[in-house]
Structure 1
Amino acid sequence: MGSEAILVLGSQFGDEGKGKLIDIIAAERDICIRAQGGHNAGHTIVHGDLKFNFHLLPSGLLHPKCINLVGSGCVVHVPSLLKELASLDENGIQYKDRLFLSDRCHVDFDLHHEVDGLSEVELGKSAVGTTRKGIGPTYSNRADRSGAMLADIFDDELLETKLRRMADGYHKRYGGLLSKYDVEEEIARFKTYRERLADLVRDEVPLLRSAKAQGLKMVVEGAQAAGLDIAFGTYPFVTSSNCSVGGMLAGVSIGWNSVKEVIGVVKAYATRVGGGPFLTEQLNEDGDKLQSIGKEFGVTTGRRRRTGWLDLVQVLLAHEVNSFTALNLTKLDVLDTFEEIQVGIAYTVDGTELDSFPAGKKILDKVQVKYRTFRGWKTSTTGVTKWDELPKAAQEYLEFIEQFVGVKIKYIGTGPGREHMIVR
């Protein structure tokens, strides 16, 4: 048998709880790969009494037999990477010869963080609500061919030339607003990073070529989600990378024919951090209740998440873009105490039903959501591990989602622990 990969990606606005499923799958895989994004992502993984918040690192690091790779589509802020590694060291997690970073990853400098913040301030009321982690400016420099790859940090002259050129360009753009940033100080710090990174940075192509030749099994984890995809998300309130299957395959050298499954992760309701359209948002008691019970705070930013009902128009778009082979529905137990549960099933504008999730803000501002109302089950599902043990009303809710999207819900999350999962 040849090598095979399972791709796991979000189908809403991120924060669906992808980390738990990736952690479960990684336990049975040989390699876990991050394909895009940077430390603006956040995956929470609970292992017994330990809770880890991974931002850049792949979720398979907690499994001692799993090799982990940060793929070429990612951007890397080295100080944040070292901070995450220090957390692993403190908890006795060994990662030597199990963690690698592609030398084609682009470097997210502190310069990019400064620029990200200035850009948001400049936009004023139209600010995107980024995490201000420098992700957008880093991908911008990558796209205009002026950025620096991890491979470049081992060449003193090349790195210094590139970073000074970027800093000079941004100083011309923002003038005195960038006066606190010292390019020479950042260059000096990178001289200390090289030795630390020497054993981690690799050419991913031969690494994965060897893995495929050996028939090793892989899981590829997506950061953010379909609603934040730069091509199909709610632009401009999106991230700066493609969060789709296409973006994941562009960010790691496994090839399309290695893909066995594409699993879309769907929260049982919906959340969003930052600005942008959120058509099923509930600015009422239901929204407050979802936020409180679900403990909805961003892993990366700590910001309170906006909350609302599940939007199946959005999930269907994610499926049409990514062709999911299965779904993972998370946090079902958060809905346990609701008398009624609503699900968005269609959009209308001036009484006319739309064919899909529209792109333009002007039309999104006019959208009215059509809902389907379900009776609540009013009993605890926390920790349930068998389909037959779910209340009938909960089964009806899940079956409707399957029928609407046209994809089976293979995994159902019923609590924070990795053991709180129904597998069908």
Structure 2
Amino acid sequence: MAGIVVVGAQWGDEGKGKLVDVFAEKADMVVRYQGGANAGHTLVVNGVKTVLHLVPSGILRQDTQCVIASGVVIDVFSIRDEIKKLRATGYLENAKQLMISDTAAIILPYHKALDAAREASLSKDAKIGTTGKGIGPAYEDRASRRAVLFGDIFDQQTLRTKIELALREKNFILENYYKAPTFNIDDIMKSLAEVAEDLAPYRCRDTSLVVGKQLKAGKRVLFEGAQGTMLDILHGTYPFVTSSSTLASNACASAGIGPTNIQKVIGVFKAYTTRVGGGPFPTELNDEVGAKIQADGHEFGATTGRPRRCGWLDLVALKYAIRINGITNLAMMKLDVLTGHDRIGVCTAYKVNGELVTELPTSPYELEKVEPVIEWIPGWKEDLTKVKTLSDLPRPTTNYIDYLGSQLGTPIDVISVGPGREQTLWVKPLFNN
């Protein structure tokens, strides 16, 4: 048994997609366990970029089985288009490589309309920074026991009954509260009938059973999260969070397996910090240094294209992520982006009203007011993107890595020095054999 969870240890966009693609070379299965098309996992293979929003990042490995678990909310139109693009480029030739859970909730046009209308109605300071993909409203339907499930699109009678019920409420709110256009059930039913035909080959009635059998057989199963720890609905910087649990523990709940199946939790973090949308960001750099990191790191959202806010690495937040996820091993991404800085900042603590604090405040409003305590590490000028082994790294770079390892108390086993598969340095192998 080798169940391994790959979780974002910051505010998302850490590079989980690349890492899962690299790990998938030796994995039998990759399971996407939460979120929706608000994710943007970027993979670069032989210089060609592939952006995945819903399909698991193991899909470029033809021998790796990919599963979308029950905890994901699926935009059926988006995933149909994603599958078509993959097939057009020579991937997913065998439909059996991808399984979509019958019990995953789906996102429909009215979810997106509600998402956009709500965000538009908020003041600038109150905006969450939603992607507008309908994720929140779809999870709301799940919690209120009104969700349309993926399996429902193959049963016209059940589907119509559920959508009729949903539209009574959604259309009323859209028309009377937001003064927005409403939706016609026949139009939705027609479009879903078309998409159901396209997605039928990927339907799986019980993904929990499939995943459980793989684990019982001793297969290597990766669980791929979306977004990051600090965006978790319960333990993130609420309300500036996503609508699902992004933590490693949710991999078990979503996939329908027990926690004893998990052998390792890999926490993925950038060598610096980024955030998209509103909310507190203690180490944010609103200056030329932040602009340089943003430009060098190509820090623009793969889903929305929005510029990411950039800042120094925040060890207070990272240690929090390690604790609440039970992270056993770390992977540091985009180390190459820090080339060219005379010195590199690392936040080791906060000051709150003059008092030194080393634990993350639970209130985002308190976090907004903290002053980061920055330790300075000498930088380096060398290009890291051509480095093939750890011994080839410049001394200041290895000093930075060693400093972080000593501060975090958790081994950094993987280091990325570029977007390509080959730009990955291994301190220790992921699997024991």
- Mark yes or no: TM-score above 0.5: yes
The AA in structure 2 aligned to 1:115 is L
**TM-score using structure 2 length:** 0.95
- Shift in CA distance, 287/38, structure 1 to aligned 2, threshold 3 Å: same
**Candidates 67, 77, 93, aligned match of 1:79:** 77
Aligned ranges 1:10-409 → 2 under 5 Å: 10-93=8-91, 94-125=93-124, 126-176=126-176, 177-202=179-204, 203-409=206-412
Q: Equivalent pairs: percent with the same residue? A: 39
- Secondary structure in 1 matching 2:39: coil
Output one character per residue of 1:49-105: Cα deviation in whole Å (capped at 9) or x when no partner: 321000000011111111100011101001100110111111011141110001110
Partners of 2:184 and 2:127 in 1: how far apart? 26
Output one character per residue of 1:179-209: Cα deviation in whole Å (capped at 9) or x when no partner: 2533331122112222222221111122223
Q: Is 1:114–1:181's contact at 8 Å kept on the other side of the alignment?
A: no
Q: Is 2:232–2:245's contact at 8 Å kept on the other side of the alignment?
A: yes
**TM-score using structure 1 length:** 0.97
Q: Quote the residue 2:430 is aligned against.
A: none
State the Cα distance separating 1:304 from its structure 2 match.
0.9
2:5 paired with 1:7: yes
The AA in structure 1 aligned to 2:69 is G
Aligned residues: 422
Q: Is 1:241–1:247's contact at 8 Å kept on the other side of the alignment?
A: no
- Secondary structure in 2 matching 1:59: coil
The AA in structure 2 aligned to 1:119 is R
Gaps of 5+ in 1: none
Partners of 2:194 and 2:115 in 1: how far apart? 25
State the Cα distance separating 1:108 from its structure 2 match.
0.8
Gaps of 5+ in 2: 428-433
- Secondary structure in 1 matching 2:279: coil
Partners of 1:183 and 1:275 in 2: how far apart? 35
State the Cα distance separating 1:253 from its structure 2 match.
2.2
State the Cα distance separating 1:355 from its structure 2 match.
4.3
Moved more, 168-177 or 146-155: 168-177
- Secondary structure in 2 matching 1:262: strand
Q: Quote the residue 1:423 is aligned against.
A: 426
Q: Is 2:348–2:358's contact at 8 Å kept on the other side of the alignment?
A: no
Output one character per residue of 1:155-191: Cα deviation in whole Å (capped at 9) or x when no partner: 2122112112222112222325232533331122112
RMSD of aligned Cα (Å):
1.3
Q: Is 2:32–2:72's contact at 8 Å kept on the other side of the alignment?
A: yes
Partners of 2:373 and 2:185 in 1: how far apart? 53
